[in-house]
Amino acid sequence: TCSFSHSPKGFPKLKNDTFLRAARGEETEHTPVWCMRQAGRYLPEFRETRAAQDFFATCRSPKLCCELTLQPLRRFPLDAAIIFSDILVVPQALGMEVVMVPGKGPTFTEPLKEVEDLLKLRQKVDVTAELGYVFQAITLTRHSLEGRVPLIGFSGAPWTLMSYMIEGGGSSTMAKAKSWLYRHPEASHQLLRLLADVIIDYLVGQVAAGAQALQLFESHAGHLGPEQFQEFALPYIRDIAQAVKSKLKEEALPLVPMIIFAKDAHYALSDLAHAGYEVVGLDWTIRPQEARAQTGKDVTLQGNLDPCALYAPKEKIGELVKKMLEAFGTQRYIANLGHGLYPDMNPENVGAFVEAVHAHSRHINKH
């Protein structure tokens, strides 16, 4: 249950630190595993908890976020929890209105159309005032986990958030957002800088609230080519890691491992490995051996089973997991999917995935 049984901040002792050890490059007995979107619509109990609530109202309720974060852990022996929230809470903190439209997804009522629209955004954001509900959810969940596994906090990265703010929702081409990069490079950098500054404070606030690791989602990296990624995404990704770490030091907060997940950015793997993150997340379109070759020995890799592999029969999932573990190696590695779980997936198959990672990695480590 999600209630404070301990004094705030006197967090329970962590019992399973496998995920954190792997993230830091230390040896582990088994390969840790968690799933992006593990708190999600594929679980009937999630749909039940969410049924009566508006999506963003759910995000603003620490109690509900806590409940949804814990649901997958009641079913599966996952090695980490990730706080239930959404990347679009950051544009909301900047003063933009986002609503969840059934069948369509998140929609901005007034997307950014002209450069002048940047003036409508809050130029100075007090993250505690605007996003304090996420911090409360993290603190409550960290207590309620009772030290079972570490809790991951997260944010969207600047380019991904910018693309939503201009497109007004999902898009297959991101043409409106990309046109800004070509037509208004200065204004684009102004917006990306504003986003990065809020994200830095937001991530530091999550650690202060109890997050034990952080993941930055550059989900729309694949819409950029190498040059645009180099100019409009990578500098901010680097800056966020550096600034978060120096602020954590300044505020005497724990230096938590950070994960960068830039979907479809194969061309940037080597740069991402040197961007200041302990872990580089991978989507399913890259070969494990190639990823290792490009990222070198000093980062942990996370990923990258095709989410659709979970539609396969359980035996097949076991075989695919074994192959993946053999390709990545069981150390300096965190098993995950190459993207999030889809709503129509069978929870039993998710369980089969988690168990296969533990069983096969233990077996490989013994022999």
* SS3 state of residue 111: coil
Check if 287 is active-site. Answer: no
State the Cα–Cα distance between residues 249 and 213, nearest whole angstrom.
15
* SS3 state of residue 291: helix
pTM of the model: 0.98
Distances (CA, A) of 288 to 23, 252, 254, 304, 317: 17, 36, 31, 8, 17
Closest by alpha carbon to 2, among 85, 75, 68? 68
- Local confidence pLDDT in tens for the 367 residues of the chain: 777 655 567 999 999 999 999 999 999 999 999 999 999 999 999 999 998 789 999 999 999 999 999 999 999 999 999 999 999 999 999 999 999 998 899 999 999 999 999 999 999 999 999 999 999 999 999 999 999 999 999 999 999 999 999 999 999 999 999 999 999 999 999 999 999 999 999 999 999 999 999 999 999 999 999 999 999 999 999 999 999 999 999 999 999 999 999 999 999 999 999 999 999 999 999 999 999 999 999 999 999 999 999 999 999 999 999 999 999 999 999 999 999 999 999 999 999 999 999 999 999 999 9
Residue written as token pair 């034990």: 212
Tell whether 314 is covered by a domain. no
Catalytic residue among 21, 50, 292, 332: 50
Q: Are 69 and 84 in contact (CB under 8 A)?
A: yes
* SS3 state of residue 213: strand
Tell whether 28 is covered by a domain. no
**CATH code of the domain in which 100 resides:** 3.20.20.210
Check if 201 is active-site. Answer: no
Tell whether 162 is covered by a domain. yes
Catalytic residue among 24, 75, 86, 362: 86
CA 336 to chain centre: 11
Q: How many domains does the chain have?
A: 1
Tell whether 326 is covered by a domain. no
Q: What is the DSSP string of 164-188?
A: HHHHSS--SS-HHHHHHHHH-HHHH
Check if 271 is active-site. Answer: no
Closest by alpha carbon to 289, among 332, 337, 334, 324? 324
Q: Which residues contact 166 (CB under 8 A, 6 or more apart)?
A: 111, 112, 113, 176, 177, 180
Check if 164 is active-site. Answer: yes
Domain span holding position 127: 35-281
Q: Are 240 and 200 in contact (CB under 8 A)?
A: yes
Q: What is the DSSP string of 45-63?
A: HHHHHHTTS-HHHHHT-HH
Check if 75 is active-site. Answer: no
Tell whether 24 is covered by a domain. no
State the Cα–Cα distance between residues 239 and 243, nearest whole angstrom.
6
Q: Are 278 and 242 in contact (CB under 8 A)?
A: no
State the Cα–Cα distance between residues 126 and 218, nearest whole angstrom.
23
Tell whether 340 is covered by a domain. no
Whether omega for the bond prior to residue 365 falls within 30 degrees of 0, making it cis, is no
Catalytic residue among 17, 21, 37, 201: 37
State the Cα–Cα distance between residues 367 and 215, nearest whole angstrom.
32
For residue 333, list its beta bridge partners: 301
Q: Are 42 and 114 in contact (CB under 8 A)?
A: no
Q: Which residues contact 307 (CB under 8 A, 6 or more apart)?
A: 284, 337, 338, 339, 340, 341, 342, 345
Catalytic residue among 42, 164, 202, 277: 164
Tell whether 131 is covered by a domain. yes
Tell whether 170 is covered by a domain. yes
Q: Tell me the backbone φ, ψ of residue 152, rounded to 5 degrees.
A: -100, 130
